[in-house]
């Protein structure tokens, strides 16, 4: 396995009053993002804790997915994007010129709204990232694939057809396969952009259960439009509105007694 170019996570001191969980792993500092002349994120500052689930909520266009994509520099792929401010993981600025973006994305995995398995076998989907990172040994790959599929709560459903096409799986299974693929390369952070929005309630419940299991080992940031989903699975919730972070606090606080009227109006369905 190649070395990871970013330094090991060094716990930084938690700032008073910031709901960062055990240790702030991700620190966003005065972050603004522009699509051309349009300012999509406005001076966002927040710290996200290690091995907790943080939900980003807000109406469409509020910037929550944009911020999520800043956390592993997915926005680099979009033309005309410019950022100001800093995003630090373990205290190190991920936008610094010496950072290897491929290695960053290995540490910060992503699961998208629409499951996107490769047109390959179930096994090869999970092994893909490992092969990309130079793992060739067959038994190492087999062990890693099984472990990832077990952790993604998919193993029992697919163990007898590992070499069948991933495209034959149901929508919920495909999404869990994408999660297995994301965790196979052992990231520290998993970003999820509405991972259950296209799933039925049973598949959604499985993915949510999986997220709660995964937080024992991973730090998870999830964008969701589903308030109840945020309430069920997240420890912290950040509410965004028109590019601004309106409120960030413990999930129970946000959903029982938000401090800001805009948050109250949004979570009670008065706007958005």
Partner 1 sequence: MDNHYEMGLDALQQKLLLMASHVETGVNQALEALLQRDYALARRVKESDRVVDHFEVEIDELVIQLLTKAPLATNLRLVTAAMKIAQNLERIGDEASKIAKHAGELAQEPPVRIHLDLPGLAGLVLEMLKGALDAFVHRDSATARAVIPRDRQVDALNQEIHRQLVQQMMADPQTIGRCLHMMVVSKSLERIGDHATNLAEDVVYLCEAQDIRHTGAKGPALV
Which tokens go with 192? 């999820």
Least CB distance to partner 1 at residue 248 (A) = 16
- Specify which residues 240 forms β-bridges with: 245
CA distances from 70 to 74, 161, 198, 219, 221 (A): 6, 37, 23, 16, 12
How many angstroms separate the CA atoms of 6 and 220, rounded?
A: 19
Least CB distance to partner 1 at residue 234 (A) = 13
Least CB distance to partner 1 at residue 121 (A) = 40
Quick one: which of 97, 134, 201, 269 contacts partner 1 (CB under 8 A)? Answer: 269
Nearer to partner 1, 161 or 270 (CB): 270
Nearer to partner 1, 203 or 254 (CB): 254
Q: Which of 210, 233, 215 has its CA nearest to residue 149?
A: 210
Nearer to partner 1, 217 or 265 (CB): 265
Collapsing DSSP states into helix, strand and coil, what is residue 64?
Answer: helix
CA distances from 197 to 53, 113, 118, 227 (A): 17, 7, 20, 12
Nearer to partner 1, 115 or 251 (CB): 251
Q: Which residue has the tokens 């926005």?
A: 75
CA distances from 272 to 62, 88, 210 (A): 10, 31, 28
Which stretch, 13-21, 80-88, 161-169, 259-267, contacts partner 1 (CB under 8 A)? Answer: 259-267
Which stretch, 22-30, 96-104, 107-115, 250-258, contacts partner 1 (CB under 8 A)? Answer: 250-258
**173-232: contacts with partner 1 (CB under 8 A):** 227-228, 231
How many angstroms separate the CA atoms of 65 and 45, rounded?
A: 15
Least CB distance to partner 1 at residue 261 (A) = 10
Nearer to partner 1, 143 or 256 (CB): 256
Quick one: which of 151, 162, 255, 262 contacts partner 1 (CB under 8 A)? Answer: 255
**11-50: contacts with partner 1 (CB under 8 A):** none
Residues that contact partner 1, how many (by CB under 8 A)? 14
Collapsing DSSP states into helix, strand and coil, what is residue 86?
Answer: strand
How many angstroms separate the CA atoms of 264 and 262, rounded?
A: 5
| 8 A C-beta contact, residue 240 and residue 65 | no
Interaction between residue 56 and partner 1 (CB under 8 A):
no
Site for partner 1, rule CB under 8 A: 227-228, 231, 255-258, 263-264, 267-271
């Amino acid at each position: 396995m190649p070395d990871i170019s970013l330094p090991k996570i060094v716990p930084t001191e938690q700032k008073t009053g910031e709901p960062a969980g055990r240790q702030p792993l991700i620190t966003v500092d005065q972050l603004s993002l522009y699509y051309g002349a349009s300012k999509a994120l406005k001076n966002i500052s927040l710290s996200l804790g290690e091995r907790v689930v943080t939900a980003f909520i807000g109406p469409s266009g509020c910037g929550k997915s944009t911020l999520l994509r800043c956390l592993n520099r997915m926005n680099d792929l979009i033309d005309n994007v410019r950022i100001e401010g800093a995003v630090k993981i373990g205290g190190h600025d991920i936008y610094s010129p010496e950072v290897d973006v491929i290695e960053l994305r290995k540490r910060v995995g992503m699961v998208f709204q629409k499951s996107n398995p490769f047109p390959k076998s179930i096994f090869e989907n999970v092994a893909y990232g490992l092969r990309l990172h130079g793992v060739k040994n067959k038994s190492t790959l087999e062990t890693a694939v099984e472990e990832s599929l077990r952790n993604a709560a998919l193993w029992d459903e697919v163990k007898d057809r590992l070499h069948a096409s991933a495209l034959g799986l149901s929508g919920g299974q495909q999404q869990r396969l994408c999660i297995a693929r994301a965790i196979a390369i052992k990231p520290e952070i998993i970003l999820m952009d509405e991972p259950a929005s296209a799933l039925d309630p049973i598949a959604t419940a499985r993915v949510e259960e999986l997220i709660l299991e995964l937080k024992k080992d991973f730090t998870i940031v999830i964008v969701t439009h589903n308030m109840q989903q945020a309430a069920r699975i997240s420890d912290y919730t950040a509410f965004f509105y028109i590019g601004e972070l309106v409120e960030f606090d413990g999930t129970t606080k946000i959903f029982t007694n938000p401090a800001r009227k805009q948050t109250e109006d949004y979570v009670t369905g008065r706007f958005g």
